[in-house]
Amino acid sequence: MLTFDAVVIGSGPSGGMAAYEMAKAGLKVAILEKETLPRYKTCGGGLVFRGRAMLPFDLHEAIEKEYSLIHIYFKHLENPFVSKRDFPIISMVMRDKLDQLICGEAIKSGATLLENQALQKIDFQDEILLHTGSQTLRTRYVVAADGALGPTAKLAGWKETRKLIPALEYETEVHAQDFERLSKEARFDIDAIPHGYAWCFPKAKHLSIGVATFKKERINLRDHYQQYIKKLGIQQIVSEQAHGFQIPVGFRTEKLANRNTFLTGDAAGLADPLTAEGITNGIHSGILAGKAISQHFDNPQKAESTYLSSLEERILPELRFNGMLSGFFYSYGKIRNYLVNKEGQKFCEVLTDLFTGKINLNEELKLKAIRKMGLGKLMKF
Ligand SMILES: Cc1cc2nc3c(=O)[nH]c(=O)nc-3n(C[C@H](O)[C@H](O)[C@H](O)COP(=O)(O)OP(=O)(O)OC[C@H]3O[C@@H](n4cnc5c(N)ncnc54)[C@H](O)[C@@H]3O)c2cc1C
């Protein structure tokens, strides 16, 4: 039986980075992946600067386009709000390449990739036994990084408490004139779909176009995609491939590490409830889980508490806050539009600062709370 210090289930950004951290620290690590890499992953492939900056290696091979401007359109306004920075706010990737690149770095650091093998069952004994259809692996730690629909959390005893929203992504090839026109910007169209937004993210030779709604309701995503294609003024589609998937925009209510099993990324439910952006928190939580396990390998309780408290430093408070904001933003369109008419550019700048990581929302919230309590002067800010 193959034996490892840690087995990571899933080779997305969460899994790749958890494996990278642990392998770099000298642990014997495997990544168990049900597909064969490189594999397609349904995703807009918009990697925001905050996530990109967390990756400690060169990403050039995986980046198809970069945008230092973002365009945010609101349905009720003719012109978009535009934010500009002097570095790429958003980098466009195809996830097969990005995920393979990250896993490649984990492998270079010593991790083993076991492809084409799906986790099917877990037995918790003195150590953990992981059963795939063809073999059993023995391990001390498990990192669940198997995405929105992976089985690890359920097999390990977690209930389903995430909020999952439906999203539809098309990889769309259009004629040269339309491609040239639309690839000038990375655009978000708020309200292009009820309670949600549409996006058009240009890749090297095609457009990733998608729609997501943040309210759980029956909705025909295909119709909204078709309407969005018209709005974009696309004359003719050369080819298109549709991919539907779920995005977990509300994290699990039970603690995210238990019985030597650590939930990361979409398996934990860490995509952002305002933007549905999940690569960054996937990378970040993978790093945190990998570090906690490596640093406290001989003390699983300490490893778990370290992971849980590191998630509370930034990721979870931000998700809680953005969860509340999202409820307002997508459900109270009239009041929101009134505010957008007055302060839309400011909103766009704040969103950009969140994408780039300039604003640490948790720190901002703490500071505001301290100021509110009248302690600002005392604490010198
Ligand atoms: C339509 C759509 C558009 C999106 N656009 C963006 C965007 O533009 N920017 C952004 O930041 N985020 C976006 N997201 C969210 C983003 O894709 C996810 O948040 C991110 O992929 C989470 O990474 P992960 O590593 O946690 O999981 P994943 O990337 O989902 O990786 C999970 C891996 O686990 C494997 N796996 C599953 N089950 C098993 C099993 N039983 N055994 C072994 N392996 C298994 C899968 O094959 C997969 O490789 C989008 C999501 C959707 C659905």
- CA 282 to CA 10: how far, in whole Å? 11
Cβ of 250 closer than 6 Å to ligand 1, yes or no, is no
Identify the domain boundary among 319, 347, 365.
Answer: 319
Q: Is 263 helix (H, G, I), strand (E, B) or coil?
A: strand
Q: Determine, yes or no, domain membership for 8.
A: yes
Structure tokens at 295: 């640093």
Q: For every one of its 381 residues, what pLDDT tens digit does the chain have, with 9 covering 90 and above?
A: 999 999 999 999 999 999 999 999 999 999 999 999 999 999 999 999 999 999 999 999 999 999 999 999 999 999 999 999 999 999 999 999 999 999 999 999 999 999 999 999 999 999 999 999 999 999 999 999 999 999 999 999 999 999 999 999 999 999 999 999 999 999 999 999 999 999 999 999 999 999 999 987 789 999 999 999 999 999 899 999 999 999 999 999 999 999 999 999 999 999 999 999 999 999 999 999 999 999 999 999 999 999 999 999 999 999 999 999 999 999 999 999 999 999 999 999 999 998 999 888 777 777 676 666 665 555 444
Identify the domain boundary among 249, 276, 296.
Answer: 249
Q: For residue 161, which phi and psi values (nearest 5 degrees)? A: -125, 10
pLDDT at residue 162, as a whole number: 98
146 with 178, same domain: the answer is no
Q: Determine, yes or no, domain membership for 353.
A: no
Identify the bridge partners of residue 3 per DSSP, sorted by sequence position: 138
Structure tokens at 367: 């500071």
| H helix intervals, 65-207 | 95-108, 152-155, 176-182
Q: How many domains does the chain have?
A: 2
Which mutation among 37, 98, 112, 146 tests ligand 1's pocket best, with the greatest number of atoms within 8 A of CB? 146
111 with 142, same domain: the answer is yes
245 with 294, same domain: the answer is no
Q: Determine, yes or no, domain membership for 82.
A: no
- CA 121 to CA 98: how far, in whole Å? 28
Structure tokens at 338: 């009134």
* Residue listed under structure tokens 């896993």: 103
Cβ of 80 closer than 6 Å to ligand 1, yes or no, is no
28 with 129, same domain: the answer is yes
Cβ of 269 closer than 6 Å to ligand 1, yes or no, is no
* Residue listed under structure tokens 């063809």: 134
53 with 120, same domain: the answer is yes
DSSP for residue 145: -
Q: Which atom of ligand 1 is nearest to the CA of 150?
A: 38
| H helix intervals, the chain | 13-24, 49-54, 95-108, 152-155, 176-182, 221-231, 265-268, 279-295, 300-313, 315-331, 333-356, 361-372
Cβ of 9 closer than 6 Å to ligand 1, yes or no, is yes
Q: Determine, yes or no, domain membership for 378.
A: no
Print the domain residue range for 205: 163-249
131 with 232, same domain: the answer is no
pLDDT at residue 216, as a whole number: 77
CATH at 226 = 3.30.9.10
33 with 143, same domain: the answer is yes
274 with 179, same domain: the answer is no
Q: Is-contact 220 210, C-beta < 8 A?
A: no
Contact partners, residue 105, CB within 8 Å, separation at least 6:
16, 20, 57
288 with 240, same domain: the answer is no
Structure tokens at 280: 């960054």
Cβ of 44 closer than 6 Å to ligand 1, yes or no, is yes
Cβ of 147 closer than 6 Å to ligand 1, yes or no, is yes
Burial class (CB in 10 A: 0-12, 13-18, 19+), 256: buried
Structure tokens at 187: 């655009």
245 with 257, same domain: the answer is no
Q: For residue 103, which phi and psi values (nearest 5 degrees)? A: -65, -35
Identify the domain boundary among 219, 249, 279.
Answer: 249
Q: Determine, yes or no, domain membership for 335.
A: no
